[in-house]
Amino acid sequence: MNTNSNVYTVIYTTILVVIVAAILAFAASALKSRQQANMDLAKMKTIMLAANMGQTPDGSVDKGADFMKLYNDHITNAFVVDAEGNVVEGVDAFKDIDLKSQYSNLKKGQEVKLPVYECTMDDGRKVNILAMYGAGLWGAIWGYMAVEDDNETVAGAIFDHASETPGLGAKIAEPAFYTQFRGKKLSDAGQFSSVKVIKGGANGSENGVDAISGATMTSKAVSTSLEQWLGAYKAFLTGRSAAQPEKGECCCEGGECTGECEGECENENVNTEKDE
Amino acid sequence: MNKDIYTKPFFLTNPITVLVLGICSSLAVTVQLKGALVMALSVTIVTACSSLILSLLRNTIPNRVRIIVQLVVVAMFVILIDQFLQAFAYDTSKMLSVYIGLIITNCIIMGRIEAFALGNKPWPSFVDGACNGLGYGMILIIVAFFRELLGSGTLFGYQVIPASWYLENGGWYMNNGLMILPPMALIILGCVVWIQRSIQKELQEK
Protein backbone atom coordinates (compact mmCIF):
# COMPACT_ATOMS: atom_id res chain seq x y z
CA MET A 1 0.00 0.00 0.00
CA ASN A 2 1.23 3.48 -0.79
CA THR A 3 1.57 5.10 2.62
CA ASN A 4 2.45 8.43 1.05
CA SER A 5 -0.76 9.07 -0.85
CA ASN A 6 -2.88 12.00 0.27
CA VAL A 7 -5.98 9.92 0.93
CA TYR A 8 -4.04 7.49 3.09
CA THR A 9 -2.39 10.30 5.05
CA VAL A 10 -5.70 12.04 5.75
CA ILE A 11 -7.47 8.84 6.79
CA TYR A 12 -4.52 7.70 8.90
CA THR A 13 -4.17 10.92 10.84
CA THR A 14 -7.94 11.22 11.32
CA ILE A 15 -8.23 7.76 12.81
CA LEU A 16 -5.18 8.29 15.00
CA VAL A 17 -6.43 11.58 16.36
CA VAL A 18 -9.91 10.20 17.04
CA ILE A 19 -8.47 7.25 18.96
CA VAL A 20 -6.14 9.45 21.01
CA ALA A 21 -8.95 11.93 21.72
CA ALA A 22 -11.22 9.12 22.88
CA ILE A 23 -8.56 7.75 25.25
CA LEU A 24 -7.87 11.20 26.70
CA ALA A 25 -11.54 12.07 27.06
CA PHE A 26 -12.15 8.80 28.85
CA ALA A 27 -9.19 9.33 31.20
CA ALA A 28 -10.18 12.92 31.94
CA SER A 29 -13.77 12.08 32.79
CA ALA A 30 -12.81 9.01 34.81
CA LEU A 31 -10.32 10.94 36.93
CA LYS A 32 -12.27 14.19 37.22
CA SER A 33 -13.97 13.49 40.54
CA ARG A 34 -10.71 12.47 42.21
CA GLN A 35 -8.91 15.55 40.90
CA GLN A 36 -11.71 17.81 42.09
CA ALA A 37 -11.63 16.15 45.51
CA ASN A 38 -7.89 16.79 45.69
CA MET A 39 -8.33 20.44 44.76
CA ASP A 40 -11.11 20.88 47.31
CA LEU A 41 -8.99 19.28 50.01
CA ALA A 42 -6.04 21.54 49.19
CA LYS A 43 -8.33 24.56 49.49
CA MET A 44 -9.77 23.38 52.81
CA LYS A 45 -6.23 22.86 54.03
CA THR A 46 -5.14 26.43 53.27
CA ILE A 47 -8.31 27.85 54.79
CA MET A 48 -7.83 25.91 58.02
CA LEU A 49 -4.14 26.77 58.17
CA ALA A 50 -5.07 30.45 58.04
CA ALA A 51 -6.99 29.95 61.28
CA ASN A 52 -3.91 28.25 62.79
CA MET A 53 -5.57 24.86 62.72
CA GLY A 54 -3.82 21.68 61.66
CA GLN A 55 -0.50 23.22 62.59
CA THR A 56 2.26 22.11 64.89
CA PRO A 57 3.13 24.62 67.65
CA ASP A 58 5.84 26.26 65.50
CA GLY A 59 3.30 26.95 62.77
CA SER A 60 4.33 24.35 60.20
CA VAL A 61 1.80 21.99 58.70
CA ASP A 62 0.83 19.05 60.87
CA LYS A 63 1.20 16.20 58.40
CA GLY A 64 -1.22 13.95 60.27
CA ALA A 65 -4.07 16.47 60.37
CA ASP A 66 -7.35 15.57 58.67
CA PHE A 67 -8.15 18.86 57.02
CA MET A 68 -11.51 17.80 55.65
CA LYS A 69 -12.70 16.93 59.16
CA LEU A 70 -11.26 20.16 60.57
CA TYR A 71 -13.00 22.14 57.86
CA ASN A 72 -16.35 20.44 58.35
CA ASP A 73 -16.16 20.76 62.13
CA HIS A 74 -14.99 24.34 62.39
CA ILE A 75 -16.26 26.27 59.38
CA THR A 76 -19.72 27.06 60.68
CA ASN A 77 -20.66 29.45 57.93
CA ALA A 78 -19.40 30.49 54.52
CA PHE A 79 -20.81 33.39 52.58
CA VAL A 80 -19.96 35.95 49.94
CA VAL A 81 -19.89 39.71 50.41
CA ASP A 82 -19.46 42.53 47.95
CA ALA A 83 -17.29 45.61 48.27
CA GLU A 84 -20.10 47.43 50.11
CA GLY A 85 -20.07 44.76 52.79
CA ASN A 86 -23.46 43.32 51.81
CA VAL A 87 -23.99 39.60 51.65
CA VAL A 88 -24.47 38.30 48.11
CA GLU A 89 -27.17 35.64 48.13
CA GLY A 90 -27.16 32.50 46.04
CA VAL A 91 -23.41 32.21 45.64
CA ASP A 92 -21.43 29.43 47.26
CA ALA A 93 -18.24 30.85 48.75
CA PHE A 94 -16.33 27.60 48.45
CA LYS A 95 -17.44 26.34 45.06
CA ASP A 96 -18.48 29.36 43.01
CA ILE A 97 -15.79 31.93 43.72
CA ASP A 98 -12.75 31.85 41.50
CA LEU A 99 -10.21 34.14 43.16
CA LYS A 100 -8.30 34.69 39.94
CA SER A 101 -11.27 36.17 38.10
CA GLN A 102 -12.26 38.19 41.18
CA TYR A 103 -8.72 39.55 41.24
CA SER A 104 -9.01 40.76 37.66
CA ASN A 105 -12.37 42.37 38.53
CA LEU A 106 -10.75 44.00 41.53
CA LYS A 107 -7.93 45.44 39.44
CA LYS A 108 -10.35 46.80 36.86
CA GLY A 109 -12.49 48.33 39.59
CA GLN A 110 -15.45 46.13 38.69
CA GLU A 111 -17.85 44.50 41.09
CA VAL A 112 -16.16 41.84 43.22
CA LYS A 113 -17.50 38.90 45.14
CA LEU A 114 -15.47 38.21 48.26
CA PRO A 115 -15.63 34.90 50.10
CA VAL A 116 -15.81 34.89 53.90
CA TYR A 117 -15.45 31.69 55.94
CA GLU A 118 -16.63 31.92 59.51
CA CYS A 119 -14.59 29.58 61.64
CA THR A 120 -15.53 28.63 65.20
CA MET A 121 -12.36 27.96 67.16
CA ASP A 122 -12.04 25.28 69.81
CA ASP A 123 -12.60 27.87 72.56
CA GLY A 124 -15.79 29.14 70.94
CA ARG A 125 -14.24 32.29 69.45
CA LYS A 126 -15.37 33.10 65.95
CA VAL A 127 -12.92 34.29 63.32
CA ASN A 128 -13.62 35.32 59.75
CA ILE A 129 -11.27 33.92 57.15
CA LEU A 130 -10.78 36.22 54.18
CA ALA A 131 -9.19 35.41 50.84
CA MET A 132 -6.40 37.10 48.93
CA TYR A 133 -4.94 36.61 45.45
CA GLY A 134 -2.35 38.54 43.50
CA ALA A 135 0.59 38.55 41.18
CA GLY A 136 3.96 37.61 42.64
CA LEU A 137 7.27 38.03 40.89
CA TRP A 138 6.97 34.99 38.60
CA GLY A 139 3.42 33.77 39.01
CA ALA A 140 0.31 33.93 41.12
CA ILE A 141 0.38 34.21 44.90
CA TRP A 142 -2.65 33.63 47.07
CA GLY A 143 -3.55 33.21 50.68
CA TYR A 144 -6.09 33.51 53.43
CA MET A 145 -6.18 35.70 56.50
CA ALA A 146 -8.19 34.98 59.63
CA VAL A 147 -9.52 38.04 61.45
CA GLU A 148 -10.83 37.93 65.03
CA ASP A 149 -14.42 38.97 65.70
CA ASP A 150 -13.29 42.44 66.74
CA ASN A 151 -12.67 42.72 62.96
CA GLU A 152 -9.33 44.30 63.66
CA THR A 153 -6.94 41.73 65.07
CA VAL A 154 -5.37 39.21 62.72
CA ALA A 155 -5.66 35.68 64.08
CA GLY A 156 -3.46 34.09 61.46
CA ALA A 157 -2.55 34.05 57.81
CA ILE A 158 -1.25 31.66 55.20
CA PHE A 159 0.24 32.23 51.78
CA ASP A 160 1.09 30.05 48.84
CA HIS A 161 2.53 30.68 45.43
CA ALA A 162 2.71 29.14 41.99
CA SER A 163 6.35 29.69 41.08
CA GLU A 164 8.25 32.10 43.31
CA THR A 165 12.02 31.61 43.55
CA PRO A 166 12.88 28.66 45.81
CA GLY A 167 14.77 29.79 48.89
CA LEU A 168 13.77 33.44 48.39
CA GLY A 169 10.21 34.40 47.44
CA ALA A 170 8.99 30.88 48.08
CA LYS A 171 9.57 31.57 51.77
CA ILE A 172 6.19 33.32 51.97
CA ALA A 173 4.78 29.81 52.34
CA GLU A 174 7.01 29.06 55.33
CA PRO A 175 6.02 29.43 58.99
CA ALA A 176 8.75 31.98 59.73
CA PHE A 177 6.96 34.41 57.45
CA TYR A 178 3.26 33.75 57.89
CA THR A 179 3.24 33.29 61.66
CA GLN A 180 4.39 36.91 61.93
CA PHE A 181 0.88 37.99 61.01
CA ARG A 182 -0.65 36.63 64.20
CA GLY A 183 -1.85 39.37 66.48
CA LYS A 184 -1.21 42.22 64.03
CA LYS A 185 -3.82 44.97 63.79
CA LEU A 186 -5.76 46.04 60.72
CA SER A 187 -5.46 49.63 61.81
CA ASP A 188 -2.97 52.44 61.79
CA ALA A 189 -3.51 55.35 64.18
CA GLY A 190 -7.21 54.56 64.43
CA GLN A 191 -7.68 54.30 60.68
CA PHE A 192 -8.36 51.04 58.86
CA SER A 193 -5.18 49.77 57.28
CA SER A 194 -3.82 46.63 55.73
CA VAL A 195 -0.95 44.69 57.26
CA LYS A 196 2.20 45.84 55.53
CA VAL A 197 5.25 43.80 54.66
CA ILE A 198 8.12 46.12 55.48
CA LYS A 199 11.55 45.88 53.92
CA GLY A 200 14.30 46.30 56.47
CA GLY A 201 12.17 45.00 59.33
CA ALA A 202 8.91 45.97 60.97
CA ASN A 203 10.51 46.66 64.38
CA GLY A 204 7.48 45.51 66.31
CA SER A 205 5.07 47.68 64.35
CA GLU A 206 1.42 46.92 65.09
CA ASN A 207 0.44 46.49 61.47
CA GLY A 208 3.70 45.52 59.84
CA VAL A 209 5.69 42.33 59.40
CA ASP A 210 9.28 41.75 58.29
CA ALA A 211 9.85 41.30 54.58
CA ILE A 212 11.94 38.38 53.34
CA SER A 213 15.51 39.36 52.65
CA GLY A 214 16.46 38.80 49.04
CA ALA A 215 12.82 38.65 48.02
CA THR A 216 11.82 42.29 47.81
CA MET A 217 9.50 41.83 44.85
CA THR A 218 7.57 38.92 46.35
CA SER A 219 7.32 40.67 49.71
CA LYS A 220 6.02 43.76 48.00
CA ALA A 221 3.52 41.68 46.05
CA VAL A 222 2.15 40.19 49.29
CA SER A 223 1.84 43.65 50.77
CA THR A 224 0.12 45.09 47.70
CA SER A 225 -2.28 42.18 47.29
CA LEU A 226 -3.23 42.30 50.95
CA GLU A 227 -3.87 46.01 50.64
CA GLN A 228 -6.06 45.51 47.55
CA TRP A 229 -8.10 42.69 49.03
CA LEU A 230 -8.44 44.09 52.54
CA GLY A 231 -9.42 47.35 50.88
CA ALA A 232 -12.27 45.47 49.22
CA TYR A 233 -13.17 43.75 52.49
CA LYS A 234 -12.97 47.06 54.37
CA ALA A 235 -16.69 47.76 54.22
CA PHE A 236 -17.46 44.29 55.50
CA LEU A 237 -14.93 44.58 58.33
CA THR A 238 -15.42 48.17 59.43
CA GLY A 239 -19.19 48.08 58.83
CA ARG A 240 -19.49 45.45 61.47
CA SER A 241 -17.04 46.76 63.98
CA ALA A 242 -17.97 50.44 63.74
CA ALA A 243 -19.25 51.97 66.94
CA GLN A 244 -22.04 53.70 65.04
CA PRO A 245 -23.86 51.15 62.93
CA GLU A 246 -25.18 52.53 59.72
CA LYS A 247 -28.88 52.90 59.23
CA GLY A 248 -30.53 49.63 58.47
CA GLU A 249 -27.75 47.64 60.03
CA CYS A 250 -28.43 45.86 63.19
CA CYS A 251 -26.42 45.79 66.34
CA CYS A 252 -27.86 42.64 67.70
CA GLU A 253 -26.34 40.45 70.31
CA GLY A 254 -27.52 36.91 70.69
CA GLY A 255 -30.53 37.58 68.50
CA GLU A 256 -31.79 40.50 70.58
CA CYS A 257 -31.71 44.01 69.32
CA THR A 258 -29.87 46.27 71.71
CA GLY A 259 -31.98 49.12 70.50
CA GLU A 260 -29.28 51.51 69.48
CA CYS A 261 -30.05 51.17 65.84
CA GLU A 262 -32.83 50.74 63.43
CA GLY A 263 -33.70 47.51 61.74
CA GLU A 264 -34.56 44.00 62.61
CA CYS A 265 -32.53 41.33 64.21
CA GLU A 266 -33.21 38.71 61.61
CA ASN A 267 -30.08 39.63 59.74
CA GLU A 268 -27.97 38.63 62.70
CA ASN A 269 -27.09 35.25 61.41
CA VAL A 270 -26.12 35.73 57.85
CA ASN A 271 -26.13 32.08 57.17
CA THR A 272 -26.74 31.18 53.58
CA GLU A 273 -26.33 27.50 54.15
CA LYS A 274 -28.35 26.94 57.27
CA ASP A 275 -31.23 29.11 56.16
CA GLU A 276 -32.01 26.84 53.28
CA MET B 1 18.96 -8.54 21.49
CA ASN B 2 22.14 -6.55 21.60
CA LYS B 3 23.13 -5.87 25.20
CA ASP B 4 24.27 -2.38 24.20
CA ILE B 5 20.61 -1.42 24.30
CA TYR B 6 20.61 -2.04 28.05
CA THR B 7 23.95 -0.56 29.00
CA LYS B 8 24.71 2.29 26.64
CA PRO B 9 21.94 4.67 27.77
CA PHE B 10 23.30 4.60 31.30
CA PHE B 11 26.92 5.38 30.51
CA LEU B 12 28.34 5.65 26.99
CA THR B 13 25.34 7.46 25.47
CA ASN B 14 23.68 8.78 28.60
CA PRO B 15 21.04 11.25 27.42
CA ILE B 16 22.05 13.99 29.87
CA THR B 17 25.77 13.68 30.48
CA VAL B 18 26.87 12.60 27.00
CA LEU B 19 24.14 13.65 24.58
CA VAL B 20 23.26 16.72 26.68
CA LEU B 21 19.52 16.35 26.09
CA GLY B 22 16.81 17.08 28.65
CA ILE B 23 18.97 19.59 30.52
CA CYS B 24 16.08 21.99 31.19
CA SER B 25 14.06 19.61 33.33
CA SER B 26 17.16 18.29 35.08
CA LEU B 27 17.78 21.79 36.39
CA ALA B 28 14.17 22.53 37.22
CA VAL B 29 12.95 19.48 39.11
CA THR B 30 15.99 18.41 41.09
CA VAL B 31 15.47 20.53 44.20
CA GLN B 32 13.96 17.55 45.98
CA LEU B 33 14.47 13.82 45.48
CA LYS B 34 10.74 13.14 45.45
CA GLY B 35 10.13 15.43 42.49
CA ALA B 36 13.17 14.06 40.66
CA LEU B 37 12.00 10.49 41.19
CA VAL B 38 8.49 11.16 39.93
CA MET B 39 9.89 13.05 36.95
CA ALA B 40 12.31 10.20 36.18
CA LEU B 41 9.53 7.61 36.30
CA SER B 42 7.21 9.80 34.20
CA VAL B 43 9.83 10.31 31.49
CA THR B 44 10.67 6.59 31.53
CA ILE B 45 7.03 5.62 31.08
CA VAL B 46 6.56 8.15 28.29
CA THR B 47 9.70 7.18 26.34
CA ALA B 48 9.12 3.46 26.78
CA CYS B 49 5.42 3.48 25.87
CA SER B 50 5.65 5.89 22.98
CA SER B 51 8.64 4.02 21.55
CA LEU B 52 6.62 0.81 21.78
CA ILE B 53 3.50 2.23 20.12
CA LEU B 54 5.42 4.01 17.37
CA SER B 55 7.52 0.96 16.69
CA LEU B 56 4.32 -1.05 16.26
CA LEU B 57 3.02 1.60 13.86
CA ARG B 58 6.35 2.21 12.11
CA ASN B 59 5.46 0.55 8.81
CA THR B 60 2.09 2.29 8.53
CA ILE B 61 3.04 5.88 9.35
CA PRO B 62 2.90 8.21 6.31
CA ASN B 63 6.40 9.63 6.06
CA ARG B 64 5.29 13.23 5.45
CA VAL B 65 3.41 13.47 8.75
CA ARG B 66 5.84 11.31 10.70
CA ILE B 67 6.80 13.94 13.27
CA ILE B 68 3.20 14.96 13.88
CA VAL B 69 2.16 11.36 14.46
CA GLN B 70 5.02 11.00 16.95
CA LEU B 71 3.95 14.18 18.69
CA VAL B 72 0.34 13.03 19.01
CA VAL B 73 1.36 9.75 20.61
CA VAL B 74 3.91 11.35 22.96
CA ALA B 75 1.44 14.08 23.92
CA MET B 76 -1.18 11.50 24.73
CA PHE B 77 1.08 9.74 27.21
CA VAL B 78 2.22 13.01 28.75
CA ILE B 79 -1.37 14.15 29.29
CA LEU B 80 -2.31 10.77 30.75
CA ILE B 81 0.60 10.97 33.22
CA ASP B 82 -0.36 14.53 34.13
CA GLN B 83 -3.97 13.54 34.76
CA PHE B 84 -2.95 10.55 36.84
CA LEU B 85 -0.61 12.60 39.00
CA GLN B 86 -3.32 15.20 39.57
CA ALA B 87 -5.67 12.46 40.69
CA PHE B 88 -3.34 10.30 42.75
CA ALA B 89 -0.34 12.42 43.74
CA TYR B 90 -1.72 15.92 43.94
CA ASP B 91 1.08 17.46 46.00
CA THR B 92 3.79 16.13 43.73
CA SER B 93 1.86 17.23 40.70
CA LYS B 94 1.61 20.73 42.15
CA MET B 95 5.32 20.74 42.95
CA LEU B 96 6.31 19.70 39.41
CA SER B 97 3.69 22.10 37.96
CA VAL B 98 4.39 22.78 34.29
CA TYR B 99 7.35 20.45 34.01
CA ILE B 100 5.17 17.35 33.63
CA GLY B 101 3.48 18.94 30.63
CA LEU B 102 6.88 19.96 29.30
CA ILE B 103 8.01 16.31 29.13
CA ILE B 104 6.67 16.47 25.59
CA THR B 105 9.44 18.88 24.66
CA ASN B 106 12.10 16.62 26.15
CA CYS B 107 14.42 15.86 23.23
CA ILE B 108 15.25 12.42 24.59
CA ILE B 109 11.80 11.12 23.70
CA MET B 110 11.59 12.32 20.10
CA GLY B 111 15.28 11.52 19.69
CA ARG B 112 14.87 7.89 20.65
CA ILE B 113 11.75 7.51 18.53
CA GLU B 114 13.41 8.98 15.43
CA ALA B 115 16.75 7.25 15.97
CA PHE B 116 15.60 3.87 17.22
CA ALA B 117 11.91 3.02 17.46
CA LEU B 118 11.06 3.80 13.81
CA GLY B 119 13.70 1.33 12.62
CA ASN B 120 13.45 -1.48 15.14
CA LYS B 121 11.04 -4.10 16.41
CA PRO B 122 8.65 -3.20 19.27
CA TRP B 123 10.32 -5.04 22.15
CA PRO B 124 13.86 -3.67 21.60
CA SER B 125 12.29 -0.21 21.10
CA PHE B 126 10.46 -0.49 24.40
CA VAL B 127 13.65 -1.52 26.21
CA ASP B 128 15.63 1.23 24.49
CA GLY B 129 13.05 3.85 25.52
CA ALA B 130 12.89 2.56 29.09
CA CYS B 131 16.69 2.43 29.48
CA ASN B 132 17.11 5.94 28.12
CA GLY B 133 14.44 7.17 30.49
CA LEU B 134 16.19 5.44 33.38
CA GLY B 135 19.59 6.76 32.30
CA TYR B 136 18.09 10.24 32.39
CA GLY B 137 16.44 9.50 35.73
CA MET B 138 19.70 8.23 37.21
CA ILE B 139 21.39 11.59 36.63
CA LEU B 140 18.33 13.42 37.96
CA ILE B 141 18.46 11.40 41.17
CA ILE B 142 22.20 11.99 41.62
CA VAL B 143 21.80 15.75 41.19
CA ALA B 144 18.70 15.87 43.39
CA PHE B 145 20.45 13.87 46.11
CA PHE B 146 23.18 16.50 46.51
CA ARG B 147 20.83 19.44 46.09
CA GLU B 148 18.33 18.26 48.67
CA LEU B 149 20.96 17.06 51.14
CA LEU B 150 23.09 20.20 51.03
CA GLY B 151 20.33 22.70 50.28
CA SER B 152 17.62 21.58 52.70
CA GLY B 153 19.37 19.02 54.96
CA THR B 154 16.74 16.43 54.06
CA LEU B 155 16.39 13.34 51.86
CA PHE B 156 12.92 12.51 50.51
CA GLY B 157 11.65 15.14 52.95
CA TYR B 158 13.16 13.47 56.03
CA GLN B 159 15.64 15.46 58.07
CA VAL B 160 19.03 13.70 57.87
CA ILE B 161 21.32 16.45 59.14
CA PRO B 162 20.89 16.56 62.92
CA ALA B 163 18.89 19.60 64.03
CA SER B 164 21.47 20.33 66.75
CA TRP B 165 24.14 21.03 64.11
CA TYR B 166 22.34 24.11 62.88
CA LEU B 167 23.49 27.60 63.73
CA GLU B 168 20.09 28.66 65.04
CA ASN B 169 20.19 25.75 67.51
CA GLY B 170 23.68 26.67 68.66
CA GLY B 171 25.58 24.48 66.19
CA TRP B 172 27.87 25.34 63.33
CA TYR B 173 26.00 24.20 60.24
CA MET B 174 23.92 26.09 57.72
CA ASN B 175 22.03 24.92 54.65
CA ASN B 176 23.53 26.15 51.42
CA GLY B 177 20.87 28.37 49.86
CA LEU B 178 22.62 28.34 46.50
CA MET B 179 21.94 24.60 46.21
CA ILE B 180 18.23 25.30 45.86
CA LEU B 181 18.74 27.59 42.89
CA PRO B 182 19.09 26.28 39.31
CA PRO B 183 22.70 27.48 38.74
CA MET B 184 23.93 25.00 41.34
CA ALA B 185 22.17 22.18 39.50
CA LEU B 186 24.19 23.07 36.44
CA ILE B 187 27.41 23.05 38.46
CA ILE B 188 26.63 19.65 40.01
CA LEU B 189 25.71 18.36 36.57
CA GLY B 190 29.06 19.63 35.30
CA CYS B 191 30.82 17.74 38.10
CA VAL B 192 28.95 14.54 37.20
CA VAL B 193 30.02 14.93 33.56
CA TRP B 194 33.59 15.59 34.68
CA ILE B 195 33.73 12.48 36.87
CA GLN B 196 32.15 10.34 34.16
CA ARG B 197 34.59 11.51 31.49
CA SER B 198 37.61 10.99 33.69
CA ILE B 199 36.53 7.39 34.33
CA GLN B 200 35.36 6.59 30.79
CA LYS B 201 38.39 7.67 28.79
CA GLU B 202 36.72 6.80 25.44
CA LEU B 203 34.45 9.83 25.92
CA GLN B 204 37.37 12.26 25.92
CA GLU B 205 38.06 14.10 22.69
CA LYS B 206 41.59 13.80 21.35
Number of domains forming the structure of chain A: 1
In chain B, the number of structural domains is: 1
More confident residue, A202 or A118: A118
Which residue has better confidence, B48 or B9? B48
In a domain, B155, yes or no: no
pLDDT band at A267 (very low <50, low <70, confident <90, very high): very low
Residue B93 belongs to some domain of the structure = yes
Pairwise CA distance, residues A88 & A164, whole Å: 34
Task: For residue A44, tell me if it sits in a domain.
Answer: no
Residue A272: pLDDT over 60:
no
Percent of chain A with pLDDT over 70: 87
Contact assessment for residue B51 and residue B144, using Cβ atoms and an 8 Å cutoff? no
A224-252 per-position pLDDT tens digit? 999 999 988 888 888 754 444 444 444 45
For chain A, the first-to-last Cα distance in angstroms comes to 68
Rounded-to-integer distance, Cα A95 and Cα B204, Å: 60
Kindly provide the ipTM of the predicted complex, given to two decimals.
0.84
- Does residue A115 sit within a domain? yes
Are B86 and A38 inside 8 Å of each other by CB?
A: yes
pLDDT score of A276? 36
Which residue of A13, A20, A28 is in closest CB contact with B65?
A13
**Taking all residues of chain B, what is their mean pLDDT, rounded to a whole number?**
90
Is A100 contained in some domain? yes
Which own/partner contact pairs does B70-76 have at CB distance under 8 Å and 24+ positions apart? B70/B110, B70/B113, B70/B114, B71/B104, B71/B110, B72/A16, B72/A17, B72/A20, B73/A16, B73/A20, B74/B46, B74/B50, B74/B104, B74/B109, B74/B110, B74/B113, B75/A20, B75/B104, B76/A20, B76/A23, B76/A24
pLDDT reported for residue A60: 83
Residue B113, min C-alpha distance to chain A (Å):
17
**Of A4, A12, A166, Cβ closest to residue B31:** A166
Query: Is pLDDT of A83 > 90?
Result: no
Domain ranges, residue A55: 50-242
Cβ-based interface (< 8 Å): residues of B facing A: 31, 59-65, 68-69, 72-73, 75-76, 79-80, 83-84, 86-88, 90, 94, 97, 151, 177, 180-181
Residue range of the domain that includes B59? 4-146
Q: How close is the nearest chain A Cα to the Cα of B65, in Å?
A: 8
Residue B159 lies in a domain: no
Per-residue pLDDT reduced to its tens digit, B113-136: 999 999 999 999 999 999 999 999
Cα-based distances in Å from B197 to A254, B18, B119, B144, B193: 78, 9, 30, 20, 6
Contacts B68 to A, Cβ<8 Å: 13
- How confident is the model over A115-152, as pLDDT tens digits? 999 999 888 888 999 999 999 888 899 999 999 988 88
- Domain assignment present for residue B162? The answer is no
Averaged pLDDT, A143-162:
90
In a domain, B135, yes or no: yes
Instruction: Assess if residue A9 is contained within a domain.
Output: no
What residues in A contact B79, CB-CB < 8 Å? Answer: 24, 27
Q: Can you give the pLDDT at residue B138?
A: 94
Question: How far A65 CA sits from the closest chain B CA (Å)?
Answer: 15
Q: Which of A24-38, A46-60, A261-275, B93-107 has the highest mean pLDDT?
A: A24-38
